Amino acid sequence: MPALVSPPTVYLNGVFQPLDQARISVLDRGFLFGDGVYEVMPVYGGQPFRLAEHLRRLGNSLAGIRCANPFDDMQWEVLLRNLVAQNGGGDLSVYLQVTRGAGPNRDHAFPVGASQSVFAMASPLLPLPQVYRERGVSAVLVEDIRWGRCDIKTITLLANVLLRQQAVDAGAFEAILVRGAHVTEGAASNVFVVRECVLVTPPKGPLLLPGITRDLVVELACANHIPIHEAMLTTEDVRQADELWLTSSTKEIVPVTTLAGAPIGTGLPGPLYRRMMDLYQAFKDLARAGKYQ
Ligand SMILES: Cc1ncc(COP(=O)(O)O)c(C=O)c1O
């Protein structure tokens, strides 16, 4: 179980402090415009998981919104390990956010000389209910209404919020997004299908987030001789799949067994899902033991 101390300690602009004391200007552009980027990274046994990959994506997101990276990788690592230690270690979900900071007034144009706001917090990483893994979850297909740079992990998440709520309203676990003829990803996850024992996921590009979990699943598949390729998926490909999975840092790999009310494959998690979960858990155990990040 997570060993989070109470109240949680957060990092804000150079200061570690109790969550309830952290304050930020109402002119911060994160608050006014959603002008910033973020990362969510799991921590297992006090060890940040896939730290280098998360920091690389953070750097790409910052470059994508024309913001400087406030720290180099070593400085980020020191900051994050300090945050983890101050929150008791164990299994945590670390959230970090960088915004363009507060300008002198509310103006869309970049402010001159504003200093960025850097925020990080750690929360307990709660395992997904076992029933989700044993029976699978349901998802709905909804139109992807987001912008054209979904590869940037921006804090401007209103479209994702509305899409996810459509899933909640339908009693489903996740919304799977459809743009034109193709499935892009989930509202907060990437998508994989299994077709005749071959794993398929959409290629990276501006219309989906390059998920760290997605990449690890691809890596594990390649290392274990599981046939895999990247291809655009139509809604029919997804409906007719033998297996359908969602991936994300906090949810890991989740089998979808009902899509828009109809069963996927046998209606139960499939054999390749179970195999990949075993590989994923074994990889996590190594990371927990400090042997991999
Ligand atoms: C839109 C979207 N796609 C994919 C993912 C999965 O990314 P990761 O595996 O890095 O958590 C997320 C995670 O929150 C997401 O918000």
SS3 string, the chain, reads: CCCCCCCCEEEECCEEEEHHHCCCCCCEHHHHHCCEEEEEEEEECCEECCHHHHHHHHHHHHHHCCCCCCCCHHHHHHHHHHHHHHCCCCCEEEEEEEECCECCCCCCCCCCCCCCEEEEEEEECCCCCHHHHHHCEEEEEEECCCCCCCCCCECCCHHHHHHHHHHHHCCCCEEEEEECCEEEEECCEEEEEEECCEEEECCCECCECCCHHHHHHHHHHHHCCCCEEECCEEHHHHHCCCEEEEEECCCEEEEEEEECCEECCCCCCCHHHHHHHHHHHHHHHHHHCCCCC
pLDDT-derived band at 290, boundaries 50, 70, 90: confident
Question: Final residue of a domain: which of 124, 144, 170?
Answer: 124
Residue 227 within a domain: yes
Check whether residue 92 and residue 148 sit in a common domain: no
- Same-domain check for residues 118 and 135: no
Quick check: 1 pLDDT over 60?
no
137-163 burial, b at 16+ Cβ within 10 Å, e below that, comes to bbbbbbebebeeebbbbbbbbeebeeb
Domain boundary among 124, 145, 168: 124
Whole-number Cα distances in Å, 22 to 37, 40, 103: 19, 19, 19
Total structural domains within the chain: 2
293 belongs to a structural domain: no
**159 and 233 share a domain?**
yes
Evaluate: CB of 117 within 6 angstroms of ligand 1.
no
Find the CATH number of the domain harbouring 190: 3.20.10.10
Residue 2 has pLDDT above 60, yes or no: no
Residue 167: the pLDDT is 97
Residues 217 and 264 in one domain: yes
pLDDT higher than 60, residue 4: no
Mean pLDDT (whole number) for 120-128: 96
Decide if 3 is inside a domain: no
CATH code for the domain of 85 = 3.30.470.10
- Going by C-alpha positions, the residue among 251, 180, 240 that lies closest to residue 214 is 251
Question: What share of the chain has pLDDT > 90, as a percent?
Answer: 95
Q: How far is the CA of 270 from the centre of ligand 1 (A)?
A: 23
Is there a single domain that holds both residue 84 and residue 56? yes
pLDDT tens string 174-193: 999 999 999 999 999 999 99
The tens digit of pLDDT for each residue in 19-41 reads 999 999 999 999 999 999 999 99
List own/partner pairs for 258-265 with CB under 8 A and 24 or more apart.
258/136, 258/137, 258/138, 258/139, 259/138, 259/139, 259/140, 259/141, 259/176, 260/139, 260/140, 260/141, 261/138, 264/136, 264/239, 265/194, 265/241
- Strands 137-143 and 174-179 turn out to be parallel
* pLDDT band at residue 12 using 50, 70 and 90 as cut-offs: very high
The confidence score (pLDDT) of residue 293 equals 60
- The answer on 120 and 140 residing in a single domain is no
Are residues 34 and 61 located together in one domain of the fold? yes
- Does ligand 1 come within 6 angstroms of the Cβ of 154? no
Q: Which pLDDT band holds residue 8 (cuts at 50, 70, 90)?
A: very high
Ligand 1 mutation pick, 54, 192, 209, max ligand atoms within 8 A of CB: 209
* % of the chain with per-residue pLDDT over 70: 98
Return the residue whose CA atom lies nearest to atom 5 of ligand 1.
189
| CA 202 – CA 264 distance, rounded (Å) | 18
Q: What are the tens digits of pLDDT across the range 199-211?
A: 999 999 999 999 9
pLDDT one-digit tens code per residue, 153-178: 999 999 999 999 999 999 999 999 99
**From 153, 204, 251, 284, the catalytic residue:** 153
Asked if the structure places residue 18 within a domain, the reply is yes
Residue range 60-71, pLDDT digits in tens: 999 999 999 999
| Structural domain boundaries, residue 104 | 9-124
Average pLDDT over residues 240-254: 98
In angstroms, rounded to a whole number, what is the distance separating the alpha carbons of residues 50 and 213? Answer: 9
Indicate whether 32 belongs to any domain.
yes
Greatest extent of the chain over all pairs of C-alpha atoms, in Å: 59
**74-113 residue pLDDT tens:** 999 999 999 999 999 999 999 999 999 999 999 999 999 8
Would you say residue 37 lies in a domain?
A: yes
Which are the contacts of 142, defined by CB distance < 8 A and separation ≥ 6? 163, 166, 167, 175, 176, 177, 178, 187
Q: Does residue 4 belong to any structural domain of this protein?
A: no
Q: Tell me the pTM.
A: 0.96
How does the average pLDDT of the chain come out, rounded? 96
**Residues 175, 284 share a domain:** yes
| Whether residues 151 and 264 fall in one domain | yes
Binding site membership of 248 for ligand 1 (Cβ less than 6 Å): yes
The answer to whether residues 98 and 216 belong to one domain is no
From 56, 176, 249, 283, the mutation candidate for ligand 1 (largest count of ligand atoms within 8 A of CB) is 249
- Are both 14 and 60 inside the same structural domain? yes
Asked if residue 1 belongs to a domain, the reply is no
Residues 150 and 256 in one domain: yes
Nearest in space to 202 (alpha carbons), one of 212, 192, 194:
192
* Active-site residue flag, 153: yes
**Domain edge (last residue) among 124, 153, 180:** 124
